[in-house]
Structure 1
């Protein structure tokens, strides 16, 4: 089950419901502190030194409990009551070069800008070489909107308690939250509050990789048709095509104005030169992708019109990406078949008539607005990609890294989604296909980022073909 992303007010309501049910604050703090201790132990080694920074609130209480669950680690505890009086002790402890600092100074309830003394205290932590594990939220970060309240701990890891908070997922918080972890079971009363958006985890993706009947053949596993490619942009449909193959449909075809360079690089993919015969060939596919590499000046009007006709009328699921996004009219298409738009923030901004910064400041809102305007499902790419429809909760992806910020990664994703949608196993389960593709795309990038080599799109496509669960 995806995990809720809750505002501070929703968390406070959840806590009140928990206390009203007779569950004590102390029992929740105990479970939260145990979770902090487990994670701190996992990221350190035997006899490593850990510095615990304990503030006045419940975050401090969580860390105080964690001190009892750190095994054979060498633990130093600093109870911080006054940033001026305790600065000297902080400098002394940091001078001992702890392997890990655990931040329990401020929690999600911080509702003011920190004064200059707290800013100096936090700056001292940030200037040390010690990695920081922040509890629930890096101290100094607004958990609702991701803004810095004067100064903020630059954490290497943040352990969210109970749920994720929207501010931690904002781009403005990217430099200070580090790797996000979750302790979802800390004793708060079930069920969790309903949320506007949910965090999709590895557990949610188990069982979605398509399986094949042992006596099946290529004709029963679907056929994705990719419309793309133009002069100077012939690589995009090739990337989409090979990514489509990694999704394991029976067949992949590319329909392109750039026939010679595309066909020269495709062996397992059928390549069709764009002409009037393409419409009949497209009718034999079971899913469509339009957009990769259609930015050239030689894209024919007939190709553009065909894409529009398919968008409006085709009974097949269809993905529209890149330059083809700008061709679409607002308003729901006549067909009720699944439609997916896959813009990055700049493309979304053009479609919405606003700045990319505005899109990024409210990613779920932007995705949902696009979905409403175009009568489609929207996958807004970027840090923590968002999958949304005009109503209902949005899904927020948990995988991926900045290594995906290179040309071709969007084409790979579009082709991979299309390859899944083409398969009968995903008919009626299109949202699952889109979310799984997004998650696997990010997972592949994370696998590559964990290595020691720079990587590109060929590596990403190859890693998409690896099994994520054994």
Structure 2
């Protein structure tokens, strides 16, 4: 059975939900969070005897830690709590949590203790939560570095301390968890940029709240359930004309490999026919690896197909610019990647024509290409990837995929999603070309634009995950290895969806 997609809220949305729920929440939300954290910790320590260490901070995240510690103390488990703050300055609920811990017989240490000879059964980070706005320095920074150096499982409560819950940026220094239990709903920063490297295994505890009933979710996690309505088995009475014509255009001198990779991916993703238009006048007439591909001069290929993808190996000369203008003026669904994006970024006339286009447009920039389109630096894009992808969607009235760790998808109407599939093996040449081919194939087969985008992005990362599970990568994983994994996964998903 396909798992449902989970909602994602920025910090402001989580605060809105908390404010609405708190007046009638019994037990209070902090009690629920501390108990949920304790339950998750029990799972992590099931075969690890000994004491656990909980480092509590000066805010509500520390309060969650005190509640968690009290549950273990009352259950007879040895727990050590480190807290260097001033109890008089704790927020109201956190102060109550500390008092309940004290009244239960708990004690706090003002500094991190040395680990016992057998090591800690679990190290828990309850220092800073989703409200952190500035870099961590001083004693708490030293604590985080010391905690990161400890062996064994490390769990964060709600968000790893030092990680911005909205952007995934590290604020000074951040706790590196092997497990994170987050509350109410997912947050963007847990899923993109540096978030996944610091969260480890991520578990959501809803705290008995239906977040969507308080505030409709602005974002969603990408999962196959979101595009499962496209998982229709092919009829026995089928022919290639039913599955669309995908067109890939690029391949300037010395760069023919890029569109060929995209074309091979489009075939494996089920397109009925795939045309590859090549700019290089000395381009091959046939792909000896994939002879099913129909190679054409670029100008001729532009006349074919139901969906056109332009950019892999395109180059930036006058011929490439002319092809791009013709593609923008057409009425096909259009995918732009690589040099097509660079041409748009450098030419206001092309950018204006793209914005005025009536047919669907999908842009698939990596951070540097996104920066050129937005006229900013790449580090500014990475500083707030969600805002960057939403800005691009508004600027060009287009569907946008901002590639990277936790690729983001934004639609022109403001909806957004984050994809979690994929791994570091995808940090290799040609991976973006494969994604371009997948998009062209699904659009050519008539998938609705939203489903085609999230389906291609998730399938792309999942294919790399399948290779990794087979021992292929992450080091040395090649883009040419992905298309066969794409075919396997797509057929598996269709078959699984049909089972009762």
With normalisation by structure 2, the TM-score equals 0.80
| Partner of residue 185, structure 2 | 163
Partner Cα distance (1:422, 1:65) in 2: 58
SS state at 2:221 partner: strand
Partner Cα distance (1:212, 1:86) in 2: 65
Partner Cα distance (2:72, 2:353) in 1: 57
**CA 432–193 in structure 1, closer or farther in 2 if over 3 Å, else same:** same
CA contact (8 A) 1:230 1:294 kept: yes
| Partner of residue 440, structure 1 | 459
Deviates more, 1:304-313 or 1:415-424: 304-313
User: Out of 69, 80, 83, which is 1:81 matched to?
Assistant: 83
CA contact (8 A) 2:82 2:111 kept: no
Partner Cα distance (2:257, 2:314) in 1: 11
Q: CA deviation at 1:385?
A: 1.2
Matched, 1:14 2:13: no
Q: Could you report, residue by residue, the CA deviation over 1:228-269 in whole angstroms, capped at 9, with x for unpaired residues?
A: 212211111111011111221211121113464472334353
**CA 155–202 in structure 1, closer or farther in 2 if over 3 Å, else same:** farther
Partner Cα distance (1:408, 1:197) in 2: 29
Matched, 1:322 2:305: no
Residue pairs, 1:370-389, within 5 angstroms: 370-389=392-411
Q: CA deviation at 1:327?
A: 2.9
**CA 96–355 in structure 1, closer or farther in 2 if over 3 Å, else same:** same
Partner Cα distance (2:298, 2:136) in 1: 65
CA contact (8 A) 1:53 1:78 kept: yes
CA contact (8 A) 2:192 2:407 kept: no
CA contact (8 A) 1:368 1:391 kept: no
Residue pairs, 1:315-354, within 5 angstroms: 316-328=332-344, 329-331=350-352, 333=354, 335-354=357-376
CA contact (8 A) 1:4 1:197 kept: yes
Deviates more, 1:51-60 or 1:249-258: 51-60
| Partner of residue 101, structure 2 | none
Q: Could you report, residue by residue, the CA deviation over 1:101-123 in whole angstroms, capped at 9, with x for unpaired residues?
A: 33234332446665633333322
CA contact (8 A) 1:238 1:266 kept: no
CA contact (8 A) 1:37 1:69 kept: no
Matched, 1:287 2:303: no
Aligned Cα root-mean-square deviation (Å): 3.3
Which 5+ residue runs of structure 2 have no aligned equivalent?
Answer: 87-107, 345-349
Residue pairs, 1:85-164, within 5 angstroms: 86=109, 90-93=113-116, 95-98=117-120, 100-110=122-132, 116-146=138-168, 148=170, 151-164=173-186
Q: CA deviation at 1:459?
A: 2.4
**CA 114–273 in structure 1, closer or farther in 2 if over 3 Å, else same:** closer
Deviates more, 1:366-375 or 1:320-329: 366-375
Q: Could you report, residue by residue, the CA deviation over 1:259-310 in whole angstroms, capped at 9, with x for unpaired residues?
A: 6447233435332331664454x1xx11111111113x8x772x64233212
With normalisation by structure 1, the TM-score equals 0.84
Partner Cα distance (2:292, 2:74) in 1: 56
CA contact (8 A) 1:107 1:136 kept: yes
Q: CA deviation at 1:97?
A: 2.6
Which 5+ residue runs of structure 1 have no aligned equivalent?
Answer: none
| Partner of residue 365, structure 1 | 387
Residue pairs, 1:33-72, within 5 angstroms: 33=34, 35-36=36-37, 39-40=40-41, 46-47=47-48, 51-53=52-54, 55=56, 57-61=62-66, 63-64=68-69, 67=72
**CA 113–349 in structure 1, closer or farther in 2 if over 3 Å, else same:** closer
CA contact (8 A) 2:218 2:415 kept: yes
| Partner of residue 308, structure 1 | 325
Partner Cα distance (1:415, 1:458) in 2: 12
Matched, 1:461 2:480: no
**CA 239–309 in structure 1, closer or farther in 2 if over 3 Å, else same:** same
Partner Cα distance (1:6, 1:64) in 2: 28
| Partner of residue 423, structure 1 | 445
Q: Could you report, residue by residue, the CA deviation over 1:158-212 in whole angstroms, capped at 9, with x for unpaired residues?
A: 2221122344345354543334333346435651423543332454354444532
Q: Could you report, residue by residue, the CA deviation over 1:48-71 in whole angstroms, capped at 9, with x for unpaired residues?
A: 65725163734215634774999x
Task: Give the paired residue count.
Answer: 454
Q: CA deviation at 1:40?
A: 4.3
Partner Cα distance (1:304, 1:366) in 2: 25
